[in-house]
Each structure stands twice: as structure tokens, then as C-alpha cells.
């Protein structure tokens, strides 16, 4: 049976508007799923809450994913402090969710791939009963049963508009979709597992691409991770990365160079990534190098 949520709001002592959801026809308590915010001329929601029970810990996923569980961790910490509930709906992506902040505006991008995996789960019919996954494409089914595509190889605009119809105000559809995502991630370990699997598949594929561009066979994990984070955030282009790597094989210098890319605007993020990497190195969990033939760290 499809889940329905009642949505209420309250103004906190600090002046913020909090949105609460409650699953109807259940004994569950209300849960806060988002806060109202503004960005430029936009209005939207955000959730950056960190709940220890709903935070990514590499150790929980290392048995299946091995070193990759650690490899994504610095980016995870920079994006969300590990929160599986991280949400924003106020920028041009219109809807961003997960511990890696997958964004809906990219056709066949990380959010679209992630959402398709979610819609293949049994619980998808409870949370998004009007969405249908057919031939690996997301469709909306209206009251007469007609299917309309929400995304394609060239556009995800219809999906963005379904999740968040407008940036000029916080509307009911946006609230309902946000509540659904937060509740689902909070209550279903399969949802959180897909967040993790999507990130690891993405970084594995990215590493193959980056090796082709930069020649990363034998490069230390920390150099590779910083490249992945630069590209994931978009704070630097390939030419700038290639210049940073041009050190005649001195990877310590290359890593130091990479840490300067985007520092004028993103120093806090770079510090988070670098400190997380250094912590993993100190713990003996980040000593591997990239093997281009196998596409793995060894």
C-alpha cells in the first residue's frame, strides 16, 4: 500500500522553518526531514543532519566493497559528513540527495542512476507509486494509466520538475518528495546500501577514465582520491590536474599541488578531504596504489 505523509511546519527559536512528516495510518512519530532556506533568488529545502545511526562508516561496507569503501570516504565527509539523509532542493539541480549529494540535473547522471536502482526495490511502490521503471527508463503513470517519460539520454528536466516543480517557492510536491526520500533512507538499509554501491561504481568508472587521461597506473590512493574529489565537485579541469601531476613521479609533490586546486573558493572542503585522507593513511587503511590493468587498488 502506498505511503502517505502528513506535512507540518514550525518556526524554531533560531527563526528557521522546520518541516516535519508523519507516516499516516501508523504509530510512527513525526520526523523532521528538512529546513527552509534561500539561495540567490531561489527558495528550497536542506537537510544536513548527522544521526550516528544513519552515517556512512566504511567499516560497515568494507567486507563487500573492500578498499573502495575507504576510497570514497573523504568525498563523503566533504559532501555530507557521512549523512545518508543529506538533501538540498534550492539550486539549479532542483533536487539533490544522498551522502554524496547526487544531483538530478544531469541526464543519466549519479542521481538518475541511483534513483533507478531505488525504483527496482520492492518498497518503491510504497514511496513512489506513480513512478514506473521500464526498459531502464523512469516514467510517470497518470490516473488513466498513460506513461510519460521523466528522463532520457539527453534530459532529466521532467524528473527534476516532478521532484521539485519550482525554485520560486517551497511547494507541496517538493515537500512530499523530500519526506519520502528521508523516510526511506532512514528506515531501509537497502536504500543506504544503494547510496554506497552507486558511489563505488561511479568512482571505479571514473578512475578508469582518469587513468586514460592522466596515466595513473601505480599512483598512490591519496593522489587518485583527490583527483576524484576535484572532478566530483567540479572545482578544477583536466588541464589543471595534469599540470599538478607533472612532477616527474614525485607523488608527494603531486598531492600537494592537487590540494591547491580551487583553494581560493573551496579551502574548507579541500581541508576536509586532505585531513580525512591523512587520517586513513595514519590508520594504515590508505596505502594502496592504482593498478590500471585490473582497475583496482593493490
* Per-residue pLDDT tens over the stretch 136-154: 999 999 999 999 999 999 9
* Alpha-carbon span 231 to 2, nearest angstrom: 38
Question: Residues of the chain with pLDDT > 90: what percent?
Answer: 98
Q: Residues 131, 142: contact at Cβ < 8 Å?
A: no
User: According to the model, what pLDDT value does residue 202 have?
Assistant: 97
pLDDT at residue 111 tops 80: yes
51 — pLDDT class (breaks 50, 70, 90):
confident
Question: Residues of the chain with pLDDT > 70: what percent?
Answer: 100
- On the CB side of 146, CA atoms within 13 Å amount to 2
pLDDT at residue 52 tops 90: no
- DSSP line for 84-123: TT-EE-SSTTS-EETTTTEETTSTT-HHHHHHHHHHTSTT
**Most distant CA atoms of the chain, gap in Å:** 65
* DSSP H or E stretch at residue 169: none
pLDDT at residue 43 tops 80: yes
Q: Residues 231, 237: contact at Cβ < 8 Å?
A: no
Distance separating the N- and C-terminal Cα atoms of the chain: 47
pLDDT at residue 49 tops 90: no
190-201 pLDDT tens trace:
999 999 999 999
Q: Where are the alpha helices (DSSP H) in 60-188?
A: 62-65, 68-71, 73-80, 110-119, 124-127, 157-163, 172-187
C-alpha cell at 235: 572545482
Amino acid at each position: 500500500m502506498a505511503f502517505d505523509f502528513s506535512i507540518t511546519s514550525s518556526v524554531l527559536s533560531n527563526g528557521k522553518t522546520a518541516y516535519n512528516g508523519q507516516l499516516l495510518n501508523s504509530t510512527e512519530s513525526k520526523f523532521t526531514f528538512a529546513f527552509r532556506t534561500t539561495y540567490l533568488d531561489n527558495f528550497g529545502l536542506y537537510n544536513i543532519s548527522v544521526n550516528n545511526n544513519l552515517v556512512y562508516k566504511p567499516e560497515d561496507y568494507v567486507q563487500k566493497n573492500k578498499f573502495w569503501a575507504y576510497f570514497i570516504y573523504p568525498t563523503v565527509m566533504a559532501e555530507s559528513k557521512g549523512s545518508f539523509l543529506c538533501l538540498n532542493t534550492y539550486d539549479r539541480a532542483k533536487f539533490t540527495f544522498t551522502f554524496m549529494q547526487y544531483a538530478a540535473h544531469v541526464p543519466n547522471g549519479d542521481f538518475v542512476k541511483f534513483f533507478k536502482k531505488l525504483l527496482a526495490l520492492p518498497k518503491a511502490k510504497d514511496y513512489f507509486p506513480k513512478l514506473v521503471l521500464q526498459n531502464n527508463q523512469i516514467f510517470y503513470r497518470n490516473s488513466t494509466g498513460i506513461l510519460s517519460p521523466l528522463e532520457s539520454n539527453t534530459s532529466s528536466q521532467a524528473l527534476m520538475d516532478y521532484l521539485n516543480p519550482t525554485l520560486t517557492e517551497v511547494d507541496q510536491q517538493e515537500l512530499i518528495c523530500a519526506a519520502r526520500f528521508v523516510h526511506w533512507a532512514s528506515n531501509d538499509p537497502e536504500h543506504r546500501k544503494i547510496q554506497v554501491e552507486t558511489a563505488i561504481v561511479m568512482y571505479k568508472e571514473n578512475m578508469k577514465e582518469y587513468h586514460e587521461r592522466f596515466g595513473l597506473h601505480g599512483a598512490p590512493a591519496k593522489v587518485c582520491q583527490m583527483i576524484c574529489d576535484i572532478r566530483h565537485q567540479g572545482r578544477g579541469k583536466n588541464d589543471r590536474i595534469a599540470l599538478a601531476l607533472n612532477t616527474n613521479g614525485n607523488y608527494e609533490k603531486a598531492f600537494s599541488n592537487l590540494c591547491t586546486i580551487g583553494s581560493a573558493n573551496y579551502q574548507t572542503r579541500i581541508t576536509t578531504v586532505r585531513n580525512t585522507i591523512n587520517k586513513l593513511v595514519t590508520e594504515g587503511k590508505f596505502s594502496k596504489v592504482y593498478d590500471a590493468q585490473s582497475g583496482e587498488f593493490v
